[in-house]
Amino acid sequence: MRFLFLDRILEVEPAKRILATKLINMGDGYLVPHPSGRPAMPASILLECLAQTGGDLNLLTHGLRTQTFLIMAEGFRLRRQPHVGELLQLDMRMERVHDAGASMEGVVRSGSELIGTLGRMMYVHRQVTDLSYVRRQQGRMRALLASPDILDTLPPVPGLDPVRVPVPAEPAAEPAAVLQTAG
């Protein structure tokens, strides 16, 4: 089983930066008690959120054709544990990218408040030739990306026809129901 800790990717600039969100809710099975009485996200899960965000930046940088592995995280500083109801903003910036991997740094915010910082995270990756893996990543990215158009700018994968999944239009606003009371 794989746990996905991102709800949405708001912004991405391949080989540069990614901004993702994670809403902490009561249904999250990893919450821990906190002295405030409000359940909190453990630091290890917050670090995993950053790792997945950076992994997705690496994946998008390489056209969805790599399998990424975290090899090191250092300099993680947590100012406070985030609580249920907070919308976390996970901002990862690529410091260096090369054929075998990448290194990044990151920050986590809740609104304008800095929750934590990450000094460096290093990844290695390998090229993937399995087209079913690439298709799964395309589907996952289309679901996560606030603007799936970024996928159309990635280099084509040999042997894989571009999959154009239409983005659903915003539903038209329905007229407000009129409430009538008996009088």
Residue 180: pLDDT band by 50, 70, 90 thresholds? very low
Question: Considering its fold, how many domains does the chain have in total?
Answer: 1
- Judge whether 177 lies within some domain: no
Note the pLDDT tens digit of each residue in 97-127.
Answer: 988 999 999 999 999 999 999 999 999 999 9
Instruction: Look at the pTM and tell me if it is higher than 0.95.
Output: no
The CATH number of the domain holding residue 18 is: 3.10.129.10
User: Residue range 134-140: average pLDDT?
Assistant: 92
Residues spanned by the domain of 37:
8-150
- Judge whether 160 lies within some domain: no
**Catalytic (active site) residue 62:** no
- Judge whether 39 lies within some domain: yes
Q: What is the DSSP string of 36-101?
A: TSS-B--HHHHHHHHHHHHHHHHHHHTTT-EEEEEEEEEEEEESS--BTT-EEEEEEEEEEEETTE
The catalytic residue among 34, 62, 98, 125 is 34
- Judge whether 78 lies within some domain: yes
